[in-house]
Amino acid sequence: MPPQPLTQPTPITTPRAFRSRDFVNPAWQRRLFILPAVLITLAVVIFPTVFGIYVSFTDWQRTDQSGRVFNGLDNFRQLWHDEAYWNALQNNFVFVLIGVPLQYVIALGLALLLNQEIKGRRFFRVIFLLPLMMSPIAAGYMVGRLLFDARIGPVVELLDRFGIQYSFFETGPRAVTLLIMVNAWVWIPFVLVMLLAGLQALPGEVFEAARIDGASRWQMFRDMTFPLLLPVSLTAVLLRVIFEFKIVDIIQVVTGGGPGSASETVTYYVYKEGYLGGNIGYATAMAQVFLIIIILFVTLLLVTVGRRVRDVT
C-alpha cells in the first residue's frame, strides 16, 4: 500500500460570477438611490439659502462694478427704520388674516353645496374651477383692472348710476380691499377642490345613521362634518397662508403697489428694491428677515391649530 501524503492538496476553485452586491453593499445602494435628491436639494435649496445669508451682509449694488462689499449689519439697521417695509409686512398679514378666512368660508359653503345631489352639479363644478385654470396675472387684469377701473370699469359705472362716487384705487385701504377680493376670486377654487375632495372621502354610512337618529343638518355639520374635515382644512389653510405671504403677481397687475406704496407686500417690495432698483444686498436682507417671520408664523399655526385638530380627530 503506497504511503498517504501528510497534507491534503488544496482544491482548485474558480472565481464566482460577479454580482453587484459584491461591489456595493445594500446600505450603500440605498445611499446611491437618494443621492440625486440630495444633490438637487443642495443645488436649489441649501446653496441659495446660504448664499442669500451671505449677500444680506453685503452692500451689493447691481450697477456697482466693485462687487459685493461686506457691510456687517448695516442692511438690517436700515431695515429696522424702513417704514415702507413694515407697511408692506402689515399688508401681508392683512392678506393672511382677512383673505385666507374669507376664501375658506366661501369655499366651504360652495363645497357643501356641490357635494349635494343637485341639478347641474357637474356644470357648476366646472364653472367654479375656471379661475384656477387662469394665470393669476391674467385673472388679476381681467377682474381687477377691467371690472374696477375708474374709467372703463362697469362696477364703477354701476355705482355712479346709483349716485355713489367710489374709486377702488384712491386710498391704500381701498386698494388692499380690492386686491383681497381679486385674490379670493382666483384662489377660492383651489380651497374648494381640497374641501370637496375631503367631503367626498367622508364615510357616508355614519351620516346615514345620524340622519336615522333624527340629527338635523346643522347638527351633522357641527358635530361630524366639520370635525372630520379639519385635517384637510388645516392643509388648505396652511398652503393658502404660505401663498398669501408670497403674493406679488396680482399686485403688479392690479395696483402696481399704489397708490404710492400703500398696497405693497414684502415680496413686492423685495422685487422692487432688488430687481428694479438694483439694491440686491438690502433686498436680500429683507427677504431673509421675511423668511424667518413666515417660518415662525407657520410654526405657531401648526402648533396651536394642529394640536386642536389632533384632539378633535
pLDDT in tens, 155-190: 878 888 888 877 888 888 889 999 999 999 999 999
Residue 222 within a domain: yes
Question: What pLDDT, on the 0 to 100 scale, is given for residue 16?
Answer: 52
Q: Which of 87-96, 212-221, 233-242, 292-301 has the lowest mean pLDDT?
A: 212-221
pLDDT-based confidence at 147, cuts 50/70/90?
confident
Q: What is the residue range of 213's domain?
A: 84-312
Beta bridge partners of 279: 61
Burial class (CB in 10 A: 0-12, 13-18, 19+), 290: buried
Residue 65 within a domain: no
Residue 99 within a domain: yes
pLDDT-based confidence at 46, cuts 50/70/90?
confident
Dihedral angle sign, alpha carbons of residues 10, 11, 15, 21: negative
Residue 129 within a domain: yes
* Mean pLDDT in residue range 142-160: 81
Q: How many CB atoms lie within 10 A of CB 45?
A: 10
Domain count, the chain: 1
Question: What pLDDT, on the 0 to 100 scale, is given for residue 4?
Answer: 56
Burial class (CB in 10 A: 0-12, 13-18, 19+), 200: exposed
Residue 10 within a domain: no
Residue 256 within a domain: yes
CATH number, domain with residue 105: 1.10.3720.10
Residue 70 within a domain: no
Q: Radius of gyration (Cα) for the chain, nearest Å?
A: 30
Full-model pTM: 0.82
What mean pLDDT value characterizes the chain?
84
pLDDT in tens, 82-113: 999 999 999 999 999 999 999 999 999 999 98
Residue 163 within a domain: yes
pLDDT in tens, 63-88: 776 667 888 899 999 999 999 999 99
